[in-house]
Amino acid sequence: MHELKFDPEICKSCTSCDCIMKCQYIDLESDQAKSEHAKLVAGEDSSILHDCVTCYACEEYCPFGNHPFYLIVERQEQRGVHPAPKPLEESQVIMMGPKGRIKPKELSPPVMNMCFFTVMNGGIRGSLFEGVSKFGGSDVFCNLMFLHFARNSTIRQRLPLMIENIMKNFLEPAGAKELICYHDECYGTYTSWAPAFGIDVPFKPVHLFDFIYNRLVELKENIKPLGIKVAYQRPCSNRLCPQTDHFVDDIFSLIGAERPKREFEYENALCCGGVPEAQQRFELTEEIQHKNVEDMKASGAAYCVFNCPFCFWTLSEPVLKAGLIPIMMSDLCLMALGE
């Protein structure tokens, strides 16, 4: 049930092995990469299973859309490879599980799912989000974070229930056919992971930045250009929906923010270093964050903008120490609107 749509023949015919060769955390020569990847495809033990930091990037690097990262997670789970300590993994599965405590509320479009980030409700304010109805909690949580824990099985088990909860308790009563996804991870769940595993999504997911951009266009007369340089911390989950990355530049253009050239951005972006596998290797976390933040500083950026709250919580202190101001994208846009 809900098996991964993966074609081993595509991998056999691939000569570049971009999904591994472009990885910024696994350093293998071309022949080694092809050999280790062949083991992965065959279901054998591979160094990739043990060295993967679960940054999702290979999903973007694969030119065939053949889901290399989802395959890695499948193989890790099959072979009992745990990117995070098993007690932490098991506690997270319990803690983040559905509680059956949905409280239906009267909503009207546009509707936003805050997922597990209801603590960020305060950021959904002002003219930027006027008229937006929102809901969230463990019973509508996409569960995609369990990719970091080699638990595709948990997502498989829970996601259909989450979708049912969203439809019956929120979208259908509101007469809404679209769902704004507060977090990239939710949007990636519905547009990448669910189709890869044959799970139907009966609503149209809308990326938060897509919504913000269109609302800013409506409010264009109220925008006062910021005239500042802003570095962008691209979250790992945006690797599942790279087609949305252009909205960062589109939004910056509208609000008068400059995105200075950096080494570690766009396809070459570094993760925040907060993923469980990197946390187990403290020196790796330090290295990732140092390279990333120093790159922001060298670009002349005054601010570092985030979409993912977890990235914000992980990197805020290093960013502040480097002399930059950490800020969520919605708050940066509200600044431009004078709110």
**Number of C-beta neighbours around residue 35 at 10 A:** 15
Give the position of tokens 């938060």: 208
Predicted local distance difference test score (pLDDT) of residue 285: 85
Cβ atoms 41, 11 nearer than 8 A: yes
pLDDT of residue 15: 87
Structure confidence at residue 324 (pLDDT): 98
Q: What are phi and psi of 142, to 5 degrees?
A: -65, -25
Domain borders along the chain are: 8-79, 94-212, 219-336
Q: pLDDT tens digit string along 82-97?
A: 988 889 899 999 999 9
Write down the residue that tokens 């993923």 correspond to.
Answer: 275
**DSSP secondary structure string for all residues of 86-147:** HHHHHHHHHHTS--S--------SSEEE-TT-GGGGGGS-TGGGTT-EEE-SGGG---GGGG
The continuous run of DSSP H or E covering 154 comes out as helix 152-166
pLDDT of residue 220: 97
CATH number of the 219-336 domain: 3.40.50.1860
Of 88, 158, 238, the closest CA to residue 166 belongs to: 158
- Comparing C-alpha atoms, which of 221, 209, 227, 236 is closest to residue 330? 209
pLDDT at residue 278, as a whole number: 53
Tell me what pLDDT residue 282 has. Answer: 67
> Which residues of the chain fall below pLDDT 50?
none
Q: Is the peptide bond before 110 cis (omega within 30 degrees of 0)?
A: yes
| Beta strand residue intervals within 182-219, DSSP E | 204-207
